A and B are shown apart, each in its own frame.
Chain A
Amino acid sequence: SAVISQKPSRDICQRGTSLTIQCQVDSQVTMMFWYRQQPGQSLTLIATANQGSEATYESGFVIDKFPISRPNLTFSTLTVSNMSPEDSSIYLCSVRGGNGYTFGSGTRLTVV
């Protein structure tokens, strides 16, 4: 199965600023997925990132708030823009393998 390197692992940010999270996969994949996990909650899909096209966002998530880049088949970034304390969460990227999904180790974001 694929190996994903996600960074940063954690950050503390001031409200109103933006943070870009990176995921690097060790193999080429068509789709990459970005999730948010709010404190004590389950995972919610933010968007699906395809190389060469705009990301597909789930209900409740918009491109202006969570812009995504997918410049090639092994890399993607998610930006959390104009952050507020409500954005404090764990953000995870994921790719689909042959028998399930592989996840990055997550980015724990705290907005103060």
Chain B
Amino acid sequence: SQQGEEDPQALSIQEGENATMNCSYKTSINNLQWYRQNSGRGLVHLILIRSNEREKHSGRLRVTLDTSKKSSSLLITASRAADTASYFCATENTGTASKLTFGTGTRLQVTL
């Protein structure tokens, strides 16, 4: 079953603007990961943040994690048309074998 809820479900912005996606989860986690999926193809790993970390950066990506609120956010700065994709958060949960539980996803559309 899905653990994460993502918000918004869909987001449309113009090139150059920032995009923020939020993820909430329900159980205790070891880490939280973000993935991108272009047009129903395979997923690409973007970033992993561990449960003892609060913020992480990778290029134009910034991820925050608040374990007290069981939530995470992904910020994409200075968006480009090539960022158009679906974005999923996924958690590896405490006490379970290695596997990912995915959120519902956010569809991002970046227009010129």
Interface residues of A (CB under 8 A from B): 1, 6, 31, 33, 37, 41-45, 48, 56, 59, 90, 92, 94, 96-97, 99-106, 108
Contact present for A101 and B40 (CB under 8 Å) = no
List the one stretch of B66-74, B76-84, B93-101 in contact with chain A.
B93-101
Contact partner of B45 (CB less than 8 A), chosen from A6, A100, A106, is A100
- Which residues of B are interface residues toward A (Cβ below 8 A)? 1-2, 33, 35, 40-45, 48, 88, 90, 97-105
Q: Is the CB of A106 within 8 A of B100?
A: no
What DSSP secondary structure best describes chain A's contact surface? strand
**Is there contact, CB below 8 Å, between A101 and B100?**
yes
- Shortest distance between the CB of A60 and any CB in chain B (Å): 9
B102 / chain A contacts, CB cutoff of 8 Å: 42-44
Closest to A96 in B: B98
Closest-by-CB residue of B relative to A30 is B98
- Docked pose: A1 CA to B45 CA in angstroms: 10
Q: What are the 9 tightest A-B residue pairs by CB atom distance, in nearest-first order?
A: A100-B45, A105-B42, A103-B42, A103-B43, A43-B102, A42-B102, A42-B105, A106-B42, A100-B48
Q: What's the least CB distance linking A108 to chain B, in Å?
A: 7
